[in-house]
Structure 1
């Protein structure tokens, strides 16, 4: 982690998957259920793609994810996969599946008590993003949960710009694990913090981040420097 002296931000904006939420703890069983159902419904005839392919696409928009995960699939199959993914994710969350990364809740509470506004900006679906926050008991800590699914943004750059404008925020940190998070932070003039503890992307995803975290709790150390 950097020894930079960083100005205290008005707000910190977090990605969800691979940043706050350890997505594979929910997504691995959901992935298999989705493809079993697609085959039962005759929408997909091939074997289930490796779950690693889906995990490596986290951070993309859903329409792009399915083109990577099941190339050559029909639009009907991809649309149904969207529906099934959300259904099975929410069922899993309701059943207690899925875990936050270590120290996420404690760190978020400390940041909130320090007077910093907290937000999520995710390329996921609205119901999923809000569902993770609700079922994992952190929803009330956020001043806003922004998702591409709710705001129909074409990129995370646009989503973060909308968030900053809505809340009249001038200084913020962008925290995430993918190149889309670094891009969104840089394009909006924010300090960008890369989550190097996440396992879903390549290390090069975080090229250009101002600071790298090896543990979520290090955000408190950064803030106190």
Structure 2
């Protein structure tokens, strides 16, 4: 029987932390140059909400700014992220390509479902050549609700998935699995929170642990 595994991207496959602070600092320096920010770069606050759609990020980080300012900041931040990815400043988590190869050899279909934007995801997939293993990458941008569970539902409907799992580091990934009757596998990585992981069916500390189940 073919198994389907849907992976989150940030904090699960891609070590976002390596380019996050750099890109966020660039972005807030840009705001400072426009006299639109005076305080320190809110990196800690961003870490707290890591994994939510970017529209929610800027509502949280720039609560007193206009929608126009947030949209412009979002665009600039995305440019910086992509430039840093293409410059090789990011990294995949250990064993991503090894576990992908193993899963493909063992009749598993691999998908990515992420709250990241399409251009950002494409940059990662392209730079690390993940499309050698990944059937398709889905962005939250593709659905109006901006809800991870709905995004996973779209993948299930498109590919006729009946059995499988969602692998991710945050509660939105765990809920996306449960609400779509898939196994939830929590990754105890950089952005994970213990109270969220406690709700997953399985918790792993390294992606190679997936071999135990597939």
- Give the alignment's TM-score, normalised by structure 2: 0.94
For residues 113-132 of structure 1, give each alpha carbon's deviation from its aligned partner in whole angstroms, at most 9, with x where no partner exists. Answer: 21210000001101111211
Determine the structure 1 residue equivalent to 2:193.
Answer: 202
Determine the structure 2 residue equivalent to 1:131.
Answer: 123
Determine the structure 2 residue equivalent to 1:34.
Answer: 27
Determine the structure 2 residue equivalent to 1:10.
Answer: 3
Conserved 8 A contact 1:49-1:69: no
Determine the structure 1 residue equivalent to 2:70.
Answer: 78
Deviation at 1:9, TM superposition (A): 5.7
- Match runs of 1:54-203 below 5 Å: 54-196=46-188, 198-203=189-194
Secondary structure of the residue aligned to 1:143 is strand
Conserved 8 A contact 2:167-2:186: yes
- Number of residue equivalences: 214
Conserved 8 A contact 2:28-2:37: no
Report the aligned-residue RMSD: 1.5
Deviation at 1:154, TM superposition (A): 2.5
For residues 155-197 of structure 1, give each alpha carbon's deviation from its aligned partner in whole angstroms, at most 9, with x where no partner exists. Answer: 001000001000111111110000000110000000000001x
- Give the alignment's TM-score, normalised by structure 1: 0.90
Determine the structure 1 residue equivalent to 2:211.
Answer: 220
How many Å separate the matches in 2 of 1:192 and 1:35?
36
